[in-house]
């Protein structure tokens, strides 16, 4: 997997999903004993007009 093929997912308008991620990060921290950061990526849409 090449990181260049992905971009950050825009979850700003979906506060409920962000809160789910935060709760899961907290649960993982409690069970594992160290910080976890979950990052949402999405496949980058290629703009063929730039070719």
- pLDDT tens per residue, range 7-44: 889 988 999 999 999 999 999 999 999 999 999 999 87
DSSP alpha helix (H) spans, the chain: 15-32
| Phi and psi at residue 3, to the nearest 5° | -65, -25
What's the pTM? Answer: 0.70
Question: pLDDT-based confidence at 6, cuts 50/70/90?
Answer: confident
Q: Compute the distance between CA of residue 7 and CA of residue 27 in angstroms, rounded to an integer.
A: 26
pLDDT of residue 29: 98
- The partner residues of 8 in beta bridges, in order of sequence, read 41
């Amino acid at each position: 997997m090449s990181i260049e093929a992905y971009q950050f997912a825009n979850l700003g308008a979906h506060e409920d999903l962000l809160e789910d991620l935060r709760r899961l990060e907290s649960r993982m921290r409690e069970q594992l004993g160290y910080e976890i950061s979950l990052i949402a990526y999405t496949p980058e849409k290629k703009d063929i007009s730039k070719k």
